């Protein structure tokens, strides 16, 4: 890519520091500027059209250009563009959305707390857990166990929960209250000759040993994505979540399901917790909650979590936590309409119906010379490529560029190349996506 002086790409490089970007590379090469979206497609500023194989960032469930969401936003903007939820104030969209989410929850839940991003939601979870432990008179119960390769965001607390090196490097993370347990990637972490069942048993045993070594009374919670996303689309082996939950129950440790990617249908059921047989005490939701038409997120908690917190607010006199945008009326109205669309169009059913084709096409590439492993569930998947020489990520970046050239946007997480298309995708579009993906892979041989 050559950057023309004063072009939008040149101005982008001149004025913005971009997320997950090598700033020096960006200064030299510029960026891809997306102008418009329609359904599963987006168009760049030169008019080139792409299948958005990643739904933006795993999030635009209902696709681009959905008029119903535009209408929901504009109507709410006109009626009440902003109000807050501080100090016993409220507004109808936040009330209706909290009620809706409690009704949708796969296990009994008690209250919803609204935030604006997945990171803010997980940051809030850490604070809720600490607040609760203090409320219970257990000030030592503050540690949180997350997992190597888990992704929970990038604030000081949520970035600490994240178990990926580049989210910690030079940021002085993680904070000491966070511990990282083993990653349930059988293909990546199994020992020689270890069966899947043995691998699961070892992870559960190692978790038990970690808890005992730290002191069970010092651990507040375990947090995990039902299926790991940004860590490389890692679908845990059969029995993993049951084994983990058995350990947590033994020590009375809360379980937090980070549903930021899995939530609202991605794995073929409404929540990843249902797909994986998880019974969480806290659920974290964002992305497909509003289809990312507007930043929005939520933390849902059961009574075990809520009741001590409510008592503590009564003791102190207030709950000293809140974002100006918590439960923003436009975000809440858009999210409500988005959930209506997901239900009315049976998009969760669409994921379940198309998943066999999606996985068949993905798995067919596992035998390719350049491929190491294919992983997926529902409409989320990835192909891990063999590393090229010593340079981790080179193969993944080349594949991502080859897909882009051919009109498909994917996301390479190192050498793992992910696909997570909008849930409105149809059969022909799944085929079109994989035709491009396979041609891109062949072009690298
Ligand atoms: N949790 C999970 C599982 C995620 O995948 C992400 C983002 O990808 C986050 C949390 C953080 O969300 P955000 O980028 O909105 O802060």
Confidence of residue 3 (pLDDT cuts 50, 70, 90): confident
Report the nearest-CA residue for atom 3 of ligand 1: 260
Overall average pLDDT of the 407-431 stretch: 98
| Predicted ipTM beyond 0.95 | yes
| Pocket around ligand 1 at a 6 A CB cut-off | 57, 117-119, 122, 151-153, 225, 229-230, 258, 260-261, 286
CA 151 to ligand 1 center in whole angstroms: 7
CA 269 to ligand 1 center in whole angstroms: 20
pLDDT of residue 74: 98
pLDDT of residue 355: 98
Q: Residue 26 pLDDT more than 80?
A: yes
Confidence of residue 352 (pLDDT cuts 50, 70, 90): very high
Residue entry with tokens 């503050």: 142
Enumerate the β-bridge partners of residue 250: none
Are 57 and 230 in contact by the 8 Å Cβ rule? The answer is no
| Full DSSP string of 352-369 | HHHHHHHHHHHHHTTTST
Are 187 and 376 in contact by the 8 Å Cβ rule? The answer is no
CATH assignment of 70-344?
A: 3.40.640.10
247-to-129, 143, 197, 243 alpha-carbon distances in Å? 19, 16, 16, 7
In the chain, count H helices and then E strands.
17, 15
CA 444 to ligand 1 center in whole angstroms: 31
The answer for residues whose C-beta is within 8 angstroms of residue 404's C-beta and 6 or more apart is 32, 50, 410
Over the stretch 281-323, which tens digit does the pLDDT of each residue have?
A: 999 999 999 999 999 999 999 999 999 999 999 999 999 999 9
Report the nearest-CA residue for atom 7 of ligand 1: 153
Over the stretch 109-150, which tens digit does the pLDDT of each residue have?
A: 999 999 999 999 999 999 999 999 999 999 999 999 999 999
CA 152 to ligand 1 center in whole angstroms: 5
Q: Residue 1 pLDDT more than 70?
A: no
Q: Which of 123, 152, 164, 262 to mutate to test the pocket of ligand 1 (most atoms within 8 A of CB)?
A: 152
Quick one: CATH architecture of 32-62+346-443?
A: Alpha-Beta Complex (3.90)
Taking the CA of residue 335 as centre, how many other CA atoms within 13 Å lie in the half-sphere pointing to its CB?
32
Atom of ligand 1 nearest to the CA of 150: 3
Mean pLDDT of the chain: 97
Overall average pLDDT of the 11-22 stretch: 95
**Sign of CA pseudo-dihedral 398, 400, 402, 405:** negative
Dmax (CA) for the chain in angstroms is 66
Q: Within the chain, which residue ranges are assigned CATH 3.90.1150.10?
A: 32-62+346-443
Report the nearest-CA residue for atom 1 of ligand 1: 152
User: pTM score > 0.95 for this model?
Assistant: yes
Overall average pLDDT of the 390-419 stretch: 97
- What single-letter DSSP state applies at residue 191? P
CA 53 to ligand 1 center in whole angstroms: 18
Q: Residue 156 pLDDT more than 70?
A: yes
Q: Which of 56, 119, 271 to mutate to test the pocket of ligand 1 (most atoms within 8 A of CB)?
A: 119
CA 51 to ligand 1 center in whole angstroms: 22
Overall average pLDDT of the 42-58 stretch: 98
CA 274 to ligand 1 center in whole angstroms: 20
Atom of ligand 1 nearest to the CA of 122: 10
Q: Within the chain, which residue ranges are assigned CATH 3.40.640.10?
A: 70-344
Residue entry with tokens 């509003």: 290
Helix, strand, or coil here: 271?
coil
């Amino acid at each position: 890519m050559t950057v023309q002086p004063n072009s939008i790409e040149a101005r982008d490089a001149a004025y913005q520091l971009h997320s997950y970007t090598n700033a020096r590379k960006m200064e030299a090469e510029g960026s891809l500027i997306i102008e418009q979206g329609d359904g599963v497609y987006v168009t760049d500023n030169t008019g080139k059209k792409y299948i958005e194989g990643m739904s933006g960032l795993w999030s635009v469930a209902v696709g681009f250009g959905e008029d119903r969401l535009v209408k929901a936003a504009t109507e709410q903007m006109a009626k009440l563009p902003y109000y807050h939820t501080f100090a016993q104030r409220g507004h109808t969209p936040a009330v209706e959305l909290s009620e809706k989410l409690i009704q949708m929850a796969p296990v009994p839940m008690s209250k919803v707390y609204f935030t604006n991003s997945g990171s803010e939601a997980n940051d809030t979870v850490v604070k809720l857990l600490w607040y609760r432990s203090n409320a219970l008179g257990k000030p030592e119960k503050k540690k949180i166990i997350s997992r190597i390769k888990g992704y929970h965001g990038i604030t000081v607390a949520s970035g600490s929960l994240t178990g990926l090196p580049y989210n910690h490097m030079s940021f002085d993370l993680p904070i000491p209250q966070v511990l990282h347990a083993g990653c349930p990637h059988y293909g990546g972490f199994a020992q020689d000759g270890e069966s899947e069942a043995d691998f699961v048993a070892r992870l559960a045993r190692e978790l038990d040993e970690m808890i005992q070594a730290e002191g069970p009374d010092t651990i507040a919670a375990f947090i995990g994505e039902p299926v790991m996303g940004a860590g490389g689309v890692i679908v845990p082996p059969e029995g993993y979540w049951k084994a983990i939950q058995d350990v947590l129950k033994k020590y009375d440790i809360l379980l937090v399901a980070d549903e930021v990617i899995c939530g609202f249908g991605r794995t073929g059921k409404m929540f990843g917790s249902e797909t994986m047989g998880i019974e969480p005490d806290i659920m974290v939701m964002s992305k497909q909650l509003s289809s990312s038409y507007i930043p929005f997120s939520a933390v849902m908690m059961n009574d075990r979590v809520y009741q001590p917190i409510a008592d503590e607010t009564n003791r102190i006199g207030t709950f000293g936590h809140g974002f100006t945008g918590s439960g923003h009326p436009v975000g809440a109205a858009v999210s409500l309409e988005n959930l209506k669309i997901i239900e009315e169009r049976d998009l969760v059913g669409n994921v379940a119906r198309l998943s066999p084709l999606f996985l068949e096409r993905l798995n067919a590439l596992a035998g390719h010379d350049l491929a190491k492993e294919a992983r997926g569930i529902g409409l989320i998947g990835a192909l891990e490529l063999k590393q090229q020489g010593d340079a981790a990520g080179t193969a993944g970046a080349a594949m991502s560029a080859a897909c882009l050239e051919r009109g498909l946007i994917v996301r390479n997480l190192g050498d793992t190349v992910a696909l997570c298309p909008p849930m409105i995708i149809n059969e022909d579009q799944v085929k079109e996506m994989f035709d491009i993906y396979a041609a891109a892979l062949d072009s690298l041989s």
